[in-house]
Structure 1
Amino acid sequence: MVVVNEPLHPIGEVARRFGLRVSALRYYDELGLVPPAERRGTVRYYGREELRRLALVQRLHREGMVTLADTAVLTTDRHGEEQPAGRQVLADTIAGMTRRIDELVAARAVLEHLLTCPTADPVRQCSKLRADLDEIVDRVM
């Protein structure tokens, strides 16, 4: 949607300012993620709405929240309709993040223990670590 007197920015400028390659913006256009406001010849131009959408795509995808495919599900225009697929993507993403956070908290606890373990070589000599590793081996085997 182009607003009268809204400044339009050429694809090269947008790519540079958003830290992207022009090819990435073209790919986003092909996927329907960030279509340009207009084209003049072979040059794509972006207005404020498209730049806002690009910022959303970057926030969702580049910051590692969701995959590019899930970003497409979340940003597909449905003209005000409920988006159950989008809500499911959000719920699944939150569940995955929660699992990853739990894994990182557990990993941090192991590293903090090793850092304070009184043995000379905690990675090889720590009895707590050895017991944890034996538990893993027993579970796997």
Structure 2
Amino acid sequence: MDDRLYSITEVAQAFGVRVSALRYYEERGLLTPTRRRARVRYYDRAALRSLALLRLWHHDGAMSLDDTATLMAGPDPADWRDTLLRRTDDLDQQITRLQKAKDALDHFLDCTSDNPAECPVIDDILNRRIDQALRDSSPPG
């Protein structure tokens, strides 16, 4: 078993984060140093595992720190499942918006017009959006 302790500076360098981020995680209750000597925080392998888990959810899972805190807080399956379901729904919506954006940009690249603002397909879309905006903003009556 690895009993070595790693200073906050070593941990920050190893994980590619700032020391201030590690301190912030501690303030939020997401990371606890194993020991302090003078003003220096030290972390053991278990603390590094917590940090790796935090980074997995926060960075790789693109989750907020609040949602990450919910997942790290404990074993209540309802809370963490609801949190994950809500986040996956959010990601699905983002993916849909991003796919629409990519499709629009791909169309601009493939359009026969030399000026994307004058593309006949885009012109039709813009006219429909203008008409819809005017309908939505017109006073009833």
TM range, smaller chain = 0.7 to 0.9
Residue 124 of structure 2 corresponds to residue 127 of structure 1: no
Shift of 1:105: 1.2
Counterpart of 1:54, as a letter, is L
Cross-structure match for 1:109 = 103
Where in structure 1 are there 5+ consecutive unaligned residues? Answer: none
- Name the TM-score, length of structure 2 as normaliser: 0.85
Shift of 1:60: 1.8
Shift of 1:117: 1.0
3-state SS in 1 of match to 2:42 = strand
Cross-structure match for 2:15 = 18
Residue 63 of structure 2 corresponds to residue 66 of structure 1: yes
Matched residues, number: 134
CA distance, structure 2, for counterparts of residue 114 and residue 28 of structure 1:
44
Shift of 1:28: 0.8
CA distance, structure 2, for counterparts of residue 53 and residue 140 of structure 1:
49
Residue 27 of structure 2 corresponds to residue 33 of structure 1: no
Cross-structure match for 2:46 = 49
Shift of 1:64: 5.8
- Name the TM-score, length of structure 1 as normaliser: 0.85
Counterpart of 2:123, as a letter, is R
Counterpart of 2:69, as a letter, is A
Counterpart of 1:110, as a letter, is A
User: Deviation digits for residues 20-42 of structure 1, max 9, x if unmatched?
Assistant: 22121111111110101122232
How many percent identity over aligned positions? 37
CA distance, structure 2, for counterparts of residue 51 and residue 138 of structure 1:
56
CA distance, structure 2, for counterparts of residue 15 and residue 40 of structure 1:
17
Cross-structure match for 2:80 = 86
Cross-structure match for 2:3 = 6
Shift of 1:136: 2.2
Counterpart of 1:52, as a letter, is R
Counterpart of 1:18, as a letter, is F
Q: Which runs of 4+ in 1 moved over 4 A?
A: none
